Homo-oligomer: A and B are copies of this chain.
Amino acid sequence: MTSAPHAADQSRSAGRTSAPNVAIVGVTGAVGQEFLRVLEQRNFPIGELKMLASARSAGKSVAFRDKTYTIEELTEKSFKGVDLALFSAGGSISKKYADAAVAAGAVVVDNSSAFRMTEGVPLVVPEVNPEAIEQAGIKLGEKPGIIANPNCSTIIMLVPVTPLHKAAKAKRIIVSTYQAASGAGAAAMAELEQQSREVLEGKPPTMEIFPFQYAFNLFSHNSDMQPNGYNQEEMKMVHETHKIWNDAKVGVNATCIRVPVMRAHAESITIEFENPIDEATAREVLRQSPGVSLMDDRESNRFPTPLDASDRDNVYVGRIRTDLSVTDGRGLSLFVCGDQIRKGAALNAVQIAELLL
């Protein structure tokens, strides 16, 4: 127990006082790149840093703080000496390599959907259920394990809806999303840009990522359709809300739509509560909620837009109003925007890692 730097294996057995050794899995992706920005901006303490990606990217260079790192190919042996592994390379990579990271002694914060619904794996939004990590007993350097980062749409919904839930007990949530290209990765963002150029030039749009024109259009989320008529993205919002709130009774009805916006999601949310809650109370609750920025200026018609939320940490909330279609004051509607890459992915994962320090 000392504040002097240690080799990873020593510090691990002695409890955490030094900076953890960190691995980033999928460092070349949109979220991987955002991990680097967030870790740097938040001055996250890092001992050794490993940049991991597929063989295709191995050997390339990545800058972080004032050093240049060479990307290494991800293998099962990549995690020797690693305390904290931030995964964002898709569910199949997480399924293949997360166990190896845990076996090597690391805590994995996984941005994919691979383990979100796995029993014993905490699913965490730090503003909502930080206690889930302690309940699972996971500790950096002492008790390795996997912590799952929720789906971006779930995170962006629950940051503002949870404090309202605590105030008046939500019983039903109806949400329609306006989801950005970034949720489908950097290639989807590039496709939106390329298609927009092509359409403006009167050329046929190139369609590689999505089977429809995306520029100047929108479409039902491209995740797999379930037998109940909801797509996977929508069912994630249902199941993850149940797990994060530890309440399988709250009704969640989601419609997930992709819109031609680059990197921030918007959501139109209507909530029914057990107890009455008025607009002023809701606004005051949200004003005091961590991770929320109010932008609710009716006089100048100024409410959140995806561009307001882009590159920002907080979820922007506006259009707070009593639901006109319920008569007993137990309904509210909101319109929220949050950065999909940041709070919807990289920032939330780094905030989870901060809880471990």
Contact = CB atoms under 8 A, between A and B. Distances in A.
B231 A307 contact: no
Interface residues of A, number: 58
Contact of A259 (B173, B259, B325): B259
A270 interface: yes
Contact of A323 (B192, B222, B253, B325): B253
Contacts of A251: 324-327
B217 A307 contact: yes
Contacts of A324: 228, 230, 238, 251-253
Contacts of A289: none
Contacts of A33: none
A266 B225 CA distance: 20
Nearest to A171: B325
Interface string A315-348: 0001111111111000101010000000000000
Interface string A287-306: 00000000000110101011
A212 B295 CA distance: 14
A312 interface: no
Contacts of A212: 305, 307
A333 B220 contact: no
Given A197-B200, A251-B325, A324-B228, A270 B174 contact: yes
A255 B268 contact: yes
Given A200-B197, A335-B257, A222 B322 contact: no
Contacts of A261: 216-218, 260
Q: How many copies does the complex hold?
A: 2
Given A217-B307, A260-B260, A261-B217, A321 B252 contact: no
A321 B262 CA distance: 29
Contacts of A219: 303, 305
Contact of A325 (B173, B220, B307): B173
A218 to B, nearest CB: 6
A66 to B, nearest CB: 28
B305 A217 contact: yes
A201 to B, nearest CB: 10
A262 B178 contact: no
Interface in A243-265: 251-253, 255, 257, 259-262
Contact of A218 (B173, B224, B259): B259
A172 interface: yes
A261 to B, nearest CB: 6
Given A216-B262, A228-B321, 13 more contacts: A196-B216, A197-B200, A212-B307, A216-B261, A216-B307, A218-B261, A219-B303, A224-B301, A225-B298, A252-B325, A253-B323, A255-B335, A260-B260
Interface of A: 172-174, 176, 178, 192-193, 196-197, 200, 212-213, 216-220, 222, 224-225, 228-231, 238, 251-253, 255, 257, 259-262, 266, 268, 270, 279, 298-299, 301, 303, 305-307, 318-327, 331, 333, 335
15 contacts: A176-B176, A196-B200, A200-B200, A218-B306, A220-B318, A220-B319, A224-B301, A225-B298, A229-B319, A229-B320, A229-B321, A229-B322, A231-B301, A238-B324, A253-B324
